[in-house]
Amino acid sequence: MKYTLPILTYAFDALEPFIDTQTMNIHYSKHHQAYVDNVNAALSKYPEVAEIELLELLKDLDKVPADIRGAVRNNGGGHINHTMFWEVMAPNGKKEPTGALLSEIEKTFGTLSSMKEQFATAAKTRFGSGWAWLVVTADNELKIVSTANQDNPVSEGLTPILGLDVWEHAYYLKYQNRRPEYIEQWWNVVNWDVVERNFEAAK
Protein backbone atom coordinates (compact mmCIF):
# COMPACT_ATOMS: atom_id res chain seq x y z
CA MET A 1 0.00 0.00 0.00
CA LYS A 2 2.18 2.82 -1.26
CA TYR A 3 -0.43 5.54 -1.66
CA THR A 4 -3.10 6.48 0.87
CA LEU A 5 -5.89 9.04 1.08
CA PRO A 6 -4.51 12.43 2.11
CA ILE A 7 -5.84 13.82 5.39
CA LEU A 8 -8.70 16.25 4.86
CA THR A 9 -8.06 19.40 6.86
CA TYR A 10 -11.78 20.19 7.14
CA ALA A 11 -14.98 18.28 7.87
CA PHE A 12 -17.27 16.89 5.16
CA ASP A 13 -19.85 19.59 5.99
CA ALA A 14 -17.33 22.45 6.09
CA LEU A 15 -17.89 23.58 2.50
CA GLU A 16 -21.69 23.82 2.83
CA PRO A 17 -23.76 25.18 1.22
CA PHE A 18 -21.51 25.32 -1.86
CA ILE A 19 -20.33 21.69 -1.74
CA ASP A 20 -22.77 19.50 0.16
CA THR A 21 -21.82 17.07 2.92
CA GLN A 22 -22.94 13.90 1.16
CA THR A 23 -21.03 14.74 -2.00
CA MET A 24 -17.87 15.47 -0.01
CA ASN A 25 -18.23 12.23 1.93
CA ILE A 26 -18.79 9.99 -1.11
CA HIS A 27 -16.29 11.85 -3.28
CA TYR A 28 -13.50 11.54 -0.73
CA SER A 29 -14.29 8.22 0.97
CA LYS A 30 -15.43 6.26 -2.08
CA HIS A 31 -14.22 7.83 -5.33
CA HIS A 32 -10.81 9.01 -4.17
CA GLN A 33 -10.28 5.81 -2.15
CA ALA A 34 -10.97 3.75 -5.29
CA TYR A 35 -8.31 5.66 -7.27
CA VAL A 36 -5.83 5.03 -4.44
CA ASP A 37 -6.66 1.32 -4.24
CA ASN A 38 -6.54 0.85 -8.00
CA VAL A 39 -3.22 2.64 -8.54
CA ASN A 40 -1.68 0.63 -5.68
CA ALA A 41 -2.96 -2.60 -7.21
CA ALA A 42 -1.57 -1.70 -10.64
CA LEU A 43 1.84 -0.65 -9.29
CA SER A 44 2.13 -3.75 -7.09
CA LYS A 45 2.86 -5.74 -10.26
CA TYR A 46 6.02 -3.70 -10.90
CA PRO A 47 7.88 -2.89 -7.64
CA GLU A 48 10.67 -1.10 -9.54
CA VAL A 49 8.18 1.22 -11.24
CA ALA A 50 6.37 1.75 -7.92
CA GLU A 51 9.63 3.23 -6.59
CA ILE A 52 9.20 6.19 -8.95
CA GLU A 53 6.99 8.99 -7.61
CA LEU A 54 3.55 9.04 -9.20
CA LEU A 55 3.92 12.61 -10.42
CA GLU A 56 7.11 11.61 -12.27
CA LEU A 57 5.27 8.69 -13.88
CA LEU A 58 2.45 11.00 -15.02
CA LYS A 59 5.01 13.40 -16.50
CA ASP A 60 6.35 10.57 -18.65
CA LEU A 61 3.83 7.76 -19.01
CA ASP A 62 6.22 5.89 -21.32
CA LYS A 63 8.07 4.92 -18.13
CA VAL A 64 5.03 2.84 -17.17
CA PRO A 65 4.73 -0.72 -18.54
CA ALA A 66 2.04 -0.85 -21.22
CA ASP A 67 -0.22 -3.31 -19.39
CA ILE A 68 -0.66 -0.95 -16.41
CA ARG A 69 -0.25 2.38 -18.23
CA GLY A 70 -3.98 3.02 -18.53
CA ALA A 71 -4.57 2.12 -14.88
CA VAL A 72 -1.77 4.44 -13.72
CA ARG A 73 -2.90 7.25 -15.99
CA ASN A 74 -6.52 7.03 -14.80
CA ASN A 75 -6.14 6.07 -11.15
CA GLY A 76 -2.78 7.70 -10.49
CA GLY A 77 -4.14 10.82 -12.13
CA GLY A 78 -7.29 10.46 -10.03
CA HIS A 79 -5.20 10.35 -6.85
CA ILE A 80 -3.00 13.34 -7.75
CA ASN A 81 -5.93 15.39 -9.08
CA HIS A 82 -8.16 14.86 -6.04
CA THR A 83 -5.31 15.52 -3.63
CA MET A 84 -4.91 18.96 -5.21
CA PHE A 85 -8.68 19.48 -5.32
CA TRP A 86 -9.07 19.01 -1.53
CA GLU A 87 -6.10 21.29 -0.92
CA VAL A 88 -7.27 24.23 -3.02
CA MET A 89 -10.57 24.36 -1.12
CA ALA A 90 -11.22 25.54 2.44
CA PRO A 91 -14.18 26.85 4.42
CA ASN A 92 -12.34 30.02 5.47
CA GLY A 93 -9.58 30.36 2.92
CA LYS A 94 -8.21 33.50 1.34
CA LYS A 95 -11.03 34.75 -0.89
CA GLU A 96 -9.01 36.52 -3.60
CA PRO A 97 -5.48 36.27 -4.94
CA THR A 98 -3.05 39.11 -4.19
CA GLY A 99 0.59 39.93 -4.85
CA ALA A 100 2.57 38.19 -7.57
CA LEU A 101 -0.23 35.83 -8.58
CA LEU A 102 -2.79 38.62 -8.95
CA SER A 103 -0.29 40.65 -11.03
CA GLU A 104 0.32 37.67 -13.28
CA ILE A 105 -3.42 37.01 -13.65
CA GLU A 106 -3.99 40.65 -14.61
CA LYS A 107 -1.08 40.58 -17.05
CA THR A 108 -2.38 37.43 -18.74
CA PHE A 109 -6.17 37.77 -18.56
CA GLY A 110 -6.76 41.49 -17.95
CA THR A 111 -8.75 41.05 -14.77
CA LEU A 112 -9.43 38.40 -12.16
CA SER A 113 -13.05 38.15 -13.27
CA SER A 114 -11.99 37.64 -16.86
CA MET A 115 -9.72 34.79 -15.74
CA LYS A 116 -12.63 33.25 -13.82
CA GLU A 117 -14.84 33.60 -16.88
CA GLN A 118 -12.34 31.81 -19.12
CA PHE A 119 -11.84 29.14 -16.47
CA ALA A 120 -15.61 28.63 -16.21
CA THR A 121 -15.86 28.32 -19.99
CA ALA A 122 -13.18 25.62 -19.99
CA ALA A 123 -15.02 23.81 -17.17
CA LYS A 124 -18.46 24.10 -18.80
CA THR A 125 -17.34 23.03 -22.26
CA ARG A 126 -15.38 19.96 -21.15
CA PHE A 127 -17.61 17.31 -22.72
CA GLY A 128 -18.25 14.38 -20.41
CA SER A 129 -15.89 13.94 -17.48
CA GLY A 130 -12.76 15.89 -16.75
CA TRP A 131 -11.13 18.88 -15.13
CA ALA A 132 -10.48 22.57 -15.66
CA TRP A 133 -7.09 23.92 -14.64
CA LEU A 134 -5.10 27.08 -14.13
CA VAL A 135 -1.56 26.07 -15.04
CA VAL A 136 1.94 27.49 -15.35
CA THR A 137 3.54 26.71 -18.72
CA ALA A 138 7.17 25.80 -19.39
CA ASP A 139 7.65 29.47 -20.35
CA ASN A 140 6.39 30.52 -16.90
CA GLU A 141 3.11 31.84 -18.21
CA LEU A 142 -0.38 31.31 -16.83
CA LYS A 143 -2.83 29.42 -18.98
CA ILE A 144 -6.26 27.83 -18.65
CA VAL A 145 -6.69 24.31 -19.96
CA SER A 146 -9.04 21.41 -19.49
CA THR A 147 -8.31 17.70 -19.51
CA ALA A 148 -10.47 14.64 -20.08
CA ASN A 149 -11.09 11.91 -17.50
CA GLN A 150 -8.34 11.96 -14.86
CA ASP A 151 -5.57 13.25 -17.08
CA ASN A 152 -3.29 15.72 -15.30
CA PRO A 153 -1.68 18.68 -17.12
CA VAL A 154 1.81 17.46 -16.08
CA SER A 155 1.50 14.87 -18.86
CA GLU A 156 1.50 17.84 -21.27
CA GLY A 157 4.46 19.57 -19.58
CA LEU A 158 2.22 22.01 -17.67
CA THR A 159 2.18 22.60 -13.91
CA PRO A 160 -1.33 22.90 -12.43
CA ILE A 161 -1.86 25.40 -9.60
CA LEU A 162 -5.67 25.21 -9.38
CA GLY A 163 -7.99 22.41 -10.51
CA LEU A 164 -11.73 21.93 -10.64
CA ASP A 165 -13.33 18.50 -10.89
CA VAL A 166 -16.25 18.60 -13.34
CA TRP A 167 -17.12 14.91 -13.24
CA GLU A 168 -20.82 14.55 -12.44
CA HIS A 169 -19.92 12.77 -9.16
CA ALA A 170 -18.47 16.10 -7.98
CA TYR A 171 -21.75 17.99 -8.17
CA TYR A 172 -24.74 15.90 -9.25
CA LEU A 173 -26.34 15.27 -5.83
CA LYS A 174 -26.69 19.00 -5.21
CA TYR A 175 -26.65 20.63 -8.64
CA GLN A 176 -27.92 17.78 -10.87
CA ASN A 177 -27.39 18.88 -14.50
CA ARG A 178 -26.52 22.47 -13.54
CA ARG A 179 -22.76 22.32 -13.97
CA PRO A 180 -22.46 26.09 -14.61
CA GLU A 181 -24.04 26.82 -11.21
CA TYR A 182 -21.65 24.41 -9.48
CA ILE A 183 -18.70 26.14 -11.16
CA GLU A 184 -19.91 29.58 -10.12
CA GLN A 185 -20.52 28.55 -6.51
CA TRP A 186 -17.20 26.72 -6.26
CA TRP A 187 -15.25 30.01 -6.27
CA ASN A 188 -16.71 30.61 -2.77
CA VAL A 189 -14.59 27.79 -1.34
CA VAL A 190 -11.36 28.25 -3.29
CA ASN A 191 -8.45 28.89 -0.92
CA TRP A 192 -6.21 31.35 -2.74
CA ASP A 193 -3.47 30.98 -0.11
CA VAL A 194 -2.81 27.52 -1.46
CA VAL A 195 -3.10 28.59 -5.11
CA GLU A 196 -0.52 31.33 -4.46
CA ARG A 197 1.76 28.77 -2.81
CA ASN A 198 1.35 26.45 -5.80
CA PHE A 199 2.16 29.36 -8.12
CA GLU A 200 5.36 30.22 -6.24
CA ALA A 201 6.43 26.56 -6.30
CA ALA A 202 5.68 26.24 -10.04
CA LYS A 203 7.78 29.21 -11.15
Per CB under 5 A, residues contacting Mn ion are 165, 167, 170
Question: In whole angstroms, what is the distance from residue 170 CA to residue 32 CA?
Answer: 11
Q: Which is nearer to Mn ion, 50 or 147 (CB)?
A: 147
Q: Which is nearer to Mn ion, 74 or 137 (CB)?
A: 74
Report the nearest approach of Mn ion to the CB of residue 19 (Å): 11
Q: What separation, in Å, do the N-terminal and C-terminal C-alpha atoms of the chain show? A: 32
Q: Which is nearer to Mn ion, 164 or 170 (CB)?
A: 170
Report the nearest approach of Mn ion to the CB of residue 53 (Å): 22
Report the nearest approach of Mn ion to the CB of residue 113 (Å): 26
Report the nearest approach of Mn ion to the CB of residue 98 (Å): 29
Q: Which is nearer to Mn ion, 33 or 108 (CB)?
A: 33
Question: In whole angstroms, what is the distance from residue 105 CA to residue 114 CA?
Answer: 9
Peptide bond into 17 cis (omega under 30): yes
Report the nearest approach of Mn ion to the CB of residue 184 (Å): 18
DSSP string, 53-122: -HHHHHH-GGGS-HHHHHHIIIIIHHHHHHHHHHHTB-TT--SS--HHHHHHHHHHHSSHHHHHHHHHHH
Report the nearest approach of Mn ion to the CB of residue 162 (Å): 15
Q: Which is nearer to Mn ion, 87 or 165 (CB)?
A: 165
Q: Which is nearer to Mn ion, 165 or 196 (CB)?
A: 165
77 neighbors 149 (Cβ within 8 angstroms): yes
Give Cβ neighbours of residue 135 (< 8 Å, ≥ 6 apart).
Answer: 142, 143, 144, 145, 153, 158, 159, 160, 161
194 neighbors 90 (Cβ within 8 angstroms): yes
Strand segments (E) across 115-158: 130-136, 142-148
